[in-house]
Chains A and B, each alone.
Chain A
Amino acid sequence: MNPARKRTVRLVVALSAAVLLASALIYTSFNAASPALTPSQLLHEAQPGRSYQLTGTVVNGSVRHDGGVLHFSVADRATGTDAVPVAYTGVVPDPFKEGREIIVTVEKQGAGYTGEQNSLITKCPSKYKVAPPSEKQNA
């Protein structure tokens, strides 16, 4: 094989390998991803055995510690309705608080939902800048 031809072969092999890897990556990302849902969507769509990324606000008065398990309810941000009960173990970020907006990966189990360990993050609209008092009343 002459050198130019050899280089072409190498290039084709390398490119096909890259394309194969990229397709695997893309395929698994769609498979492994958890859809981001609001509590009301979750109540309609959730199937057992799949995980979902739940976004909403923590219902006031719903937070309860039970051993290492944290129980709380998440409701739609806009309406405050459709509360979903979540049992969660693992890291609770400092800003976690009743009324705060959070994101947690959950899986349906019976009537309730189990939070994936350490998946809870607080989505605080005022991380670096404290919100003006009007917003904070709701927070």
Chain B
Amino acid sequence: MALLGHVCLVLALIVCAYGIAVSVYGARSGRAEFSLAGRRSVYALAGLLTLGMVVLEIAFVGNNFAFNAVADTSSRTTPLLYRLAALWSSQEGSLLLWAWLLSMWSSLVLFLTRKRLREVASYATAILLGFGGFFVGLMVFYANPFTTTSPVPAEGVGLDPLLRFPTMMIHPPILYSGYTLCTIPLAFAMGALIARKVDGEWIAVIRRFALAAWLFLGMGILLGASWSFSELGWGGYWGWDAVENASLLPWLTGTAFLHSLMIQERRGMLKVWNVSLPLATGILAIMGTFMVRSGILDSIHAFGGATVGVPFLLLIAALLAGSIYLVVSRRAILASTHHLDSLLSREAIFLFNNLVLVGLAFVIFWGTWFPKISEALTGQAASVGPPWFDRYTVPLALILVLLSGIGPVIAWRRATPRGVLRSLLFPIAAALLTLVVLIAAGITQKPLAIAMFCCAAFALGSVAQELWRGTHVRRGASGEAPPVALLALIRRNRRRYGGYIVHVGMAVLFVGVAASSSFQHVSQLSLSPGQSTRVGAYTMHYVRPTAALTPHDDPTHTGSTLNVGAVLRVTKDGRYVTTLRPSEDFYESQEESQGSVGHLIGGQPVSSVGIDASLTRDIWSAIQPELETPKLKHIIEVGNKTIPFSRPDEGLFVIDFLAHEYLKHPPPAQFRLEVSPLIMWIWLGGLIVFAGGLLALSPSPGALRRRIARPVSLELAREVKYRELRDLELDLATGKLSREDYEATNATLRAEALEILNQLEPEPSADASDPTDASDSGSPTSGRPNGRAGLLPGLPEQEDGVSDEQDREEDSPAVEVALHE
């Protein structure tokens, strides 16, 4: 079996080399069969790595300790689910997971683009296979997951108890999906630069993958945060740790990219920026992967004994050099086709949002790498702590939330100060109302948190207003009932309203972060049974200790031997609130020096946190019981002397006795108790972001039916122009634009659209390309005396009555008709 896995890896390496060669040749020569062979190499790589994953998982499930990976990270006492997850707990296995996910996502993107962007996609194929080859090469030469030992050990070491938490099953695959998906926009950006095809098309193709990368990465980060909060005994969810920061960096630049690509789609602006951001995102994702594996920075998340730092450094250097060379050498074709019309326009807000996001990424990058930077400059490694990060990230986060409220209500191209002010009245009122309510409620300390609450209210007010105005306009056109109109509005404009829902989720999340970090009450103390303490408004009473051997048929069983904890009764103003049961799990270790009984509980103890979660506050508790009292130590010593290693059952009997002794004379235990307001809002906000992201990802109704490969950039330009016109109508209808501005911009846009139409179809039979026709208008326009100009009026009569911000293949059916006629 191990041989099969090894052969898979070697074959995968050969497939990568072959695929890179044929893809590059296919792209350069323009011969489609070579590009096809390159794409098939990616499918083959996915197949081989899937086989490798299956081989290794079978070994984990079957406790095949001949595999080093299995013997080092799994054991018979490790429950089945955690044996499956143990694959990615080791350096080798996680590299395999990375490469496998990369091959799967690459296959998906190349399958979906098989009829489009042939040249760009061929180069992208070569680059993706380059990443695949790099990771497979690492496994073949540095960290092979299929190495075996002989003689076969009777038992494995077991999965690190800290990792025995259900999130372990999904957090790494999701985070790695995010990381690997980040390489796809990078590959296509590089492909577009190499092929000198930097128009909107590659962006239109890659948008969903950039969004998916962003979504997976964000969810991975959030799952890690919730894991940290509900499993680790420190009661926090974010610690500005190097590895945490490393995962946040590509997410920030990815967020910037998702916004700036809209400006290029619409306005042909910011092309340099739009190729640089995916390049940076991809490189940062690789850097994140590198940091976990090199031990270069101190982090609690780093792999021990990491050996693959140097190859990663070389890869990052090559990517950086390649990116810079490509952007500089292609700067002529990256020139903008438009310029910023006004600082008071949605483009300008997006640009500002991009600068803040990139600034935020720079701050975090600097702080993360500061130990190395200061060592290089001063010879003395020094690190900046969380207060330093907070000082810069908090104001930037405030600005971001504020901008997320301004962006949606401001018109593209040019807005008048009066119009903007009118649009912002309601959001500003919402923010002020929040401020008044907070002050009335006596919350006046912590100005930064209060500022965040107001900014969030502002952003929420802005989205609410957008939804209300959109519904209103749609009702005017269709006469539907408000809920129907709202749903139809969202359904028809998934990308736009998905984005707004993400804004809502982020605002909710930031409220949770601000509240829980500013108004937290923490108490760390030693309590004996019967004693009480106050934490914030709550009184916690240590009712009684608990101690028992862990039952093996418990569904939440993680493989521990002994569980020692406490029952805490929580009251508020004398009224019962909840009962918490924090405990600590003690695991078996393989250290014989601890003795035949001592080793049964000698492994690393892991906190099992007692939480009472609610919408308004989380009451959190962790315990560190004292098992080192002279009496308990004596029991273990006697047991070590009298019981042989061959009788773990008798050893457990002694542990059971120890548990009873602990209950009879419980020593004081260390407690950490917290009351954190609005923690739940962080997870809820995350769920809302996830829902909004999925909505923006999902194809529109009928899009699949209409999906036709039309790689013609003029058509793209035409549809973008139509979309701009429809947006303009909406902006007028919802009061974002003044009549004069509307008319001026409308005239320009129409002239531009005519220009494109003339280039596109010199024959005057363009009636069906009229984007306005949609469902109800059956009136033929071809006979109009004023020719094409007559095509353009009546845009607002479009099917949904408001702008349809879909992918171009999802635009109005009329476009389809044009193609078929």
- Give the interface of A toward B (CB within 8 A): 3, 7, 10, 14, 18, 21-22, 25-26, 28-30, 32-36, 53, 65, 67-68, 89-95, 97, 103, 105, 116, 118-119, 121-131, 133, 136-137
Query: Which of B180-188, B245-253, B297-305 lies at the interface?
Result: B297-305
With a cutoff of 8 Å between Cβ atoms, the chain A residues found around residue B305 in the complex are 125-126, 129
With a cutoff of 8 Å between Cβ atoms, the chain A residues found around residue B340 in the complex are 7
Given known contacts A32-B387, A94-B606, A95-B604, is B591 in contact with A133 (CB within 8 Å)? Answer: yes
Task: List 7 A-B residue pairs with CB atoms under 8 Å apart, sorted by A's residue number.
Answer: A26-B366, A68-B525, A91-B236, A92-B233, A103-B298, A124-B304, A127-B303
B607 within 8 A of A: yes
Query: B160 and A128: CB pair below 8 A?
Result: yes
With a cutoff of 8 Å between Cβ atoms, the chain A residues found around residue B624 in the complex are 92
Query: A127 and B388: CB pair below 8 A?
Result: no
Task: List 4 additional A-B contacts (Cβ < 8 Å) besides A53-B383, A128-B304.
Answer: A18-B359, A26-B366, A28-B388, A33-B388
Number of A-B contacts (CB under 8 A): 134
Of chain A, the residue at the smallest CB distance from B235 is A91
With a cutoff of 8 Å between Cβ atoms, the chain B residues found around residue A125 in the complex are 304-305
With a cutoff of 8 Å between Cβ atoms, the chain B residues found around residue A129 in the complex are 72-73, 90-91, 160, 303-305
B698 within 8 A of A: no
9 shortest A-B CB distances, which residue pairs?
A: A33-B382, A91-B234, A35-B382, A126-B304, A36-B381, A68-B525, A68-B524, A130-B157, A32-B388
Complex CA–CA separation, A127 to B302 (angstroms): 7
With a cutoff of 8 Å between Cβ atoms, the chain B residues found around residue A53 in the complex are 382-383
Query: Which of B259-267, B275-283, B367-375, B778-786 lies at the interface?
Result: B367-375
Cβ-defined partner of B232 (8 Å) among A94, A123, A126: A94
Complex CA–CA separation, A26 to B339 (angstroms): 33
Given known contacts A25-B366, A128-B89, A128-B304, is B72 in contact with A123 (CB within 8 Å)? Answer: no
Per-residue A-contact encoding for B378-390, CB less than 8 Å = 1, 0 else: 1011111101100
With a cutoff of 8 Å between Cβ atoms, the chain A residues found around residue B378 in the complex are 30
- Give the interface of B toward A (CB within 8 A): 72-73, 89-91, 157-158, 160, 162-163, 232-236, 241, 298, 300-305, 339-340, 343, 355, 359, 362-363, 366-367, 370-371, 374, 378, 380-385, 387-388, 391-392, 523-526, 590-591, 593, 604-607, 624, 626, 670, 672
Complex CA–CA separation, A76 to B304 (angstroms): 20
With a cutoff of 8 Å between Cβ atoms, the chain A residues found around residue B90 in the complex are 128-129
With a cutoff of 8 Å between Cβ atoms, the chain B residues found around residue A119 in the complex are 385
- Nearest-CB distance from A32 to chain B (Å)? 5
Of chain A, the residue at the smallest CB distance from B359 is A21
Of chain B, the residue at the smallest CB distance from A36 is B381
Query: A90 and B300: CB pair below 8 A?
Result: no
- Nearest-CB distance from A64 to chain B (Å)? 11
The A interface is mostly helix, strand or loop, or mixed, namely: mixed
Complex CA–CA separation, A108 to B697 (angstroms): 55
With a cutoff of 8 Å between Cβ atoms, the chain A residues found around residue B158 in the complex are 130
Complex CA–CA separation, A26 to B378 (angstroms): 13
Query: B371 and A130: CB pair below 8 A?
Result: no
Query: A67 and B526: CB pair below 8 A?
Result: yes
- Nearest-CB distance from B564 to chain A (Å)? 14
Complex CA–CA separation, A29 to B328 (angstroms): 31
With a cutoff of 8 Å between Cβ atoms, the chain A residues found around residue B359 in the complex are 18, 21
With a cutoff of 8 Å between Cβ atoms, the chain B residues found around residue A118 in the complex are 234, 236
- Nearest-CB distance from A12 to chain B (Å)? 15
Complex CA–CA separation, A12 to B561 (angstroms): 66
With a cutoff of 8 Å between Cβ atoms, the chain A residues found around residue B163 in the complex are 128
Query: A32 and B73: CB pair below 8 A?
Result: no
Complex CA–CA separation, A36 to B301 (angstroms): 19
- Nearest-CB distance from A122 to chain B (Å)? 7
Cβ-defined partner of B91 (8 Å) among A18, A103, A128: A128
Given known contacts A129-B73, A131-B304, is B370 in contact with A33 (CB within 8 Å)? Answer: yes
- Nearest-CB distance from A66 to chain B (Å)? 8
Query: A28 and B670: CB pair below 8 A?
Result: no
Of chain B, the residue at the smallest CB distance from A17 is B355
- Nearest-CB distance from A138 to chain B (Å)? 11
With a cutoff of 8 Å between Cβ atoms, the chain A residues found around residue B89 in the complex are 128
Of chain A, the residue at the smallest CB distance from B234 is A91
With a cutoff of 8 Å between Cβ atoms, the chain B residues found around residue A127 in the complex are 160, 162, 300-304
Of chain A, the residue at the smallest CB distance from B380 is A35
Complex CA–CA separation, A29 to B72 (angstroms): 40
Complex CA–CA separation, A136 to B593 (angstroms): 10
Cβ-defined partner of B300 (8 Å) among A36, A92, A122: A122
Of chain B, the residue at the smallest CB distance from A136 is B591
Query: A29 and B304: CB pair below 8 A?
Result: no
Given known contacts A128-B89, A130-B72, A130-B157, is B525 in contact with A93 (CB within 8 Å)? Answer: no
Query: B388 and A29: CB pair below 8 A?
Result: yes
- Nearest-CB distance from B65 to chain A (Å)? 14
